[in-house]
């Protein structure tokens, strides 16, 4: 009598473990391409004066702590390096204990263990972690080369920094970075004086909507076509509005633009009025026309927004469908596995040749959800359309912890498919390399960085 389905015997369990370990060893050796980070220039990275709680609770895990009940005022005290470290930890510890097993917490635990030899973060080890953290930041120079390149085996990061691009700084950057460029300054223009200043930077005196459109085209050309360090555009709007951009008439947009100039006419007032959704919709279509003409990649924030409290339905990737239909030469890179809209994202990537799936942030939002999504995507979406990793951190230690979880997730999903007979082991190795190296290299034109 055969063994029941789903009840593997001891030999089968050893085989599964062996498959996973073999794949993980292979994947651990890849020098991967990271599709999305928010890392500052290394010169701006706190080193000797860095405080581990202030840095590590500045992004992601702080939201889990607040969700668990930590008052924001207490969180601010915990992040204050002028206060005693152990007193701060004592106030934090009850909330750390209930949140540490989330993906955000696990990334920090992994970084502490692997980089600083602190296997558990507790009242007894927080002092040692602080010392090792500062020592590493001061003794390893360049720090990014050590942490990202040597420890994390990351060949290159696509970095997203808010605000206007400093093209001179980007061209001369020594870090292993290329850049995305946010569309926000163009479709959500600021104060009249800021609009005119942006026009002057590219030789346009802005008085009309037509002048502003020419300003946008010149800025995009300078950023995307005149340098090879800016490889895509970024649309972060899901934090502030629904991802639906209806067509607007030029007359509507001209009226909204005129109203903006009129409302902000006084040079003494530097408060920009809220941008009309009508103007924002119209200008985004103008930006996408440029992207369509030049085959530009556009990264789009979809799914969960960082922080505490937002309207997650604004971020459903299906709201973008009209853009996918109209701008077929734009390659849309859908971020964050669309969580919790993973299946909707999969249908879009399956049916639209110009839609791609990106697992940046995904493996720490929920490691289990990321594994389920990747397994289902590999069953439904061509494997060349999935980007396997982007750390999405402001601080590099988080990037390290995230990439370790991502490699294990990918190994686990592929090992399961091998053991189920869905693919061979050589196929699994090939797919793993596609996800972490070849797919982002092809999408963003980064073949020169693939070893």
**142 preceded by cis ω (within 30°)?**
yes
Place of tokens 């473990």: 17
127-186 pLDDT per residue, tens: 999 999 999 999 999 999 999 999 999 999 999 998 777 888 888 888 999 999 999 999
Distant-in-sequence contacts of 375-383, Cβ < 8 A, 24+ apart: 375/413, 375/416, 375/417, 376/342, 376/343, 376/346, 377/342, 377/346, 377/349, 378/413, 378/417, 378/431, 379/422, 380/346, 380/350, 381/346, 381/349, 381/350, 381/357, 383/431, 383/434, 383/435, 383/439
Question: What's the pTM value of the predicted model, to 2 decimals?
Answer: 0.93
Q: By three-state DSSP, how is residue 396 classified?
A: helix
pLDDT beneath 50: ranges in the chain: 1-14
Q: How many other CB atoms sit within 10 Å of the CB of residue 227?
A: 16
Residue 92, CA atoms < 13 Å, CB-side half-sphere: 27
pLDDT for position 263: 62
**Which positions ≥6 away from 48 have C-beta within 8 Å?**
134, 137, 138
The rounded distance, in Å, linking the Cα atoms of 72 and 66 is: 7
Neighbours of 369 (CB within 10 A): 16
Residue listed under structure tokens 């490699």: 407
Contacts within 8 Å (CB) and 24+ apart, 221-229: 222/167, 223/165, 223/167, 223/181, 224/181, 224/294, 224/296, 225/294, 227/167, 227/170, 227/171, 228/178, 229/170, 229/171, 229/173, 229/177, 229/178, 229/179
Which residues are paired to 32 by β-bridges? 154
Residue 313 is encoded by which pair of tokens?
């339905």
d(CA 140, CA 379): 43
Q: Do the beta carbons of residue 189 and residue 195 sit within 8 Å? A: yes
Q: Which letter does DSSP use for residue 161 in this model?
A: -
Reported as a single tens digit per residue, the pLDDT across 70-105 is 999 999 999 999 999 999 999 999 999 999 999 999
3-class DSSP state of 302: coil
Under DSSP, the state recorded for 145 is I
Token pair 């001891």 in the structure block, residue: 10
Q: What is the pLDDT of residue 265?
A: 53
pLDDT at 73: 98
142 three-class SS:
coil
Give the model's pLDDT for residue 272: 64
pLDDT of residue 8: 43
The token duo for 329 is 């030469």
Mean pLDDT, the chain, integer: 93
**Which helix (H) or strand (E) element contains residue 377?**
helix 367-380
Q: How far is Cα 16 from Cα 415, in angstroms, rounded to an integer?
A: 7
pLDDT recorded at residue 261: 77
Task: Tally the residues of the chain.
Answer: 451
Strands (DSSP E) contained in 127-224 are: 154-159, 177-182
């Amino acid at each position: 009598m055969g063994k029941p389905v789903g009840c593997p015997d001891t030999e089968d369990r050893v085989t599964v473990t062996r498959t996973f370990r073999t794949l993980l060893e292979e994947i651990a050796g890849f020098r991967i391409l990271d599709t999305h980070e928010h890392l500052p220039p290394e010169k701006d990275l706190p080193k000797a004066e860095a405080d581990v709680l202030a840095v590590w609770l500045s992004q992601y895990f702080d939201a889990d702590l607040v969700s668990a009940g930590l008052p924001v005022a207490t969180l601010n005290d915990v992040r204050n390096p002028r206060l005693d470290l152990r007193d701060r930890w004592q106030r934090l510890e009850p909330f750390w204990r209930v949140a540490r097993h989330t993906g955000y917490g696990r990334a920090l635990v992994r970084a502490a263990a692997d980089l600083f030899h602190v296997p558990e973060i507790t009242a007894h080890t927080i002092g040692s972690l602080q010392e090792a953290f500062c020592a590493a930041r001061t003794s390893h120079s360049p720090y990014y080369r050590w942490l990202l390149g040597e420890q994390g085996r990351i060949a290159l990061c696509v970095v997203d920094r808010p605000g206007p691009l400093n093209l001179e700084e980007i061209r001369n950057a020594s870090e292993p970075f290329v850049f995305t460029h946010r569309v926000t300054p163009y479709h959500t223009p600021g104060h009249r004086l800021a609009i005119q200043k942006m026009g002057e930077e590219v030789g346009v005196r802005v008085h009309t909507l037509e002048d502003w459109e020419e300003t946008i085209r010149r800025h995009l050309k300078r950023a995307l076509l005149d340098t090879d360090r800016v490889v895509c555009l970024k649309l972060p709007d899901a934090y502030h509005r629904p991802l639906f951009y209806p067509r607007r008439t030029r007359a509507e947009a001209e009226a909204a633009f005129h109203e903006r100039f009129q409302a902000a006419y006084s040079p003494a007032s530097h408060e920009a009025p809220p941008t009309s959704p009508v103007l924002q919709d119209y200008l985004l279509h103008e930006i996408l026309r440029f992207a369509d003409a030049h085959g530009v990649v556009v990264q789009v924030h979809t799914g969960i927004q960082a922080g505490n409290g937002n309207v997650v339905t604004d971020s459903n990737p299906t709201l973008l469908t009209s853009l996918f239909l109209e701008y077929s030469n734009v390659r849309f890179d859908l971020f964050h596995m669309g969580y919790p809209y993973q299946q909707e994202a999969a249908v879009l990537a399956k049916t639209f040749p110009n839609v791609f799936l990106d697992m940046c942030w995904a493996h720490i939002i929920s490691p289990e959800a990321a594994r389920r999504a990747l397994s289902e995507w590999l069953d439904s979406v061509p494997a060349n359309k999935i980007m396997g990793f982007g750390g999405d951190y402001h601080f590099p230690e988080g990037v390290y912890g995230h990439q370790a979880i991502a490699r294990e997730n990918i190994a686990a999903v592929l090992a399961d498919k091998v053991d189920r007979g869905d693919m061979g082991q050589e196929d699994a190795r090939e797919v793993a390399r596609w996800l972490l190296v070849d797919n982002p290299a092809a999408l963003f034109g980064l073949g020169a960085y693939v070893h």
